[in-house]
């Protein structure tokens, strides 16, 4: 049997939820779900505002994802001319409303 013939588990089927947090921004609600399955851990970020969309970031990409997001937000802040908040100290979990 070739690799492409092997059925791989779909995200969400048989996955364990390790942590869930949510936040609301204007009319949007964001869910941050840390999950784990037989292939490893991943972060699913879901946005609901009439519809539903999601992105999935495997554990191997968390550091790069955070780095790129931070860079984009810092650039956006400079473009608006607003002061940037201090980044959280290492080991300090982010705070959500």
pLDDT at 79 (0 to 100) = 81
Structure tokens at 64: 């790069």
pLDDT at 97 (0 to 100) = 46
| Pairwise CA distance, residues 10 & 73, whole Å | 32
CB 16 within 8 A of CB 33: no
CATH of domain 3-80: 3.30.2450.30
pLDDT at 77 (0 to 100) = 84
| Pairwise CA distance, residues 10 & 72, whole Å | 30
Condensed to tens digits (0 to 9), the pLDDT of residues 15-25 reads: 999 999 999 99
pLDDT at 27 (0 to 100) = 92
pLDDT at 1 (0 to 100) = 45
Would you list the domain boundaries of the chain? 3-80
pLDDT under 50 in the chain at which residues?
1, 3-9, 97
| Pairwise CA distance, residues 7 & 45, whole Å | 25
| Pairwise CA distance, residues 38 & 26, whole Å | 36
CB 53 within 8 A of CB 46: yes
């Amino acid at each position: 049997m070739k690799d492409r013939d092997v059925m791989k588990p779909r995200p969400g089927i048989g996955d364990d939820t390790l942590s869930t947090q949510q936040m609301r921004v204007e009319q949007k609600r964001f869910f941050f779900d840390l999950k784990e399955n037989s292939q490893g851990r991943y972060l699913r970020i879901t946005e609901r505002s009439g519809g539903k969309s999601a992105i999935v970031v495997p554990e191997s990409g968390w550091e790069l994802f955070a780095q790129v997001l931070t860079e984009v937000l810092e650039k956006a802040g400079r473009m608006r001319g607003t002061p940037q908040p201090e980044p959280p100290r290492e080991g300090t979990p982010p705070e959500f409303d």
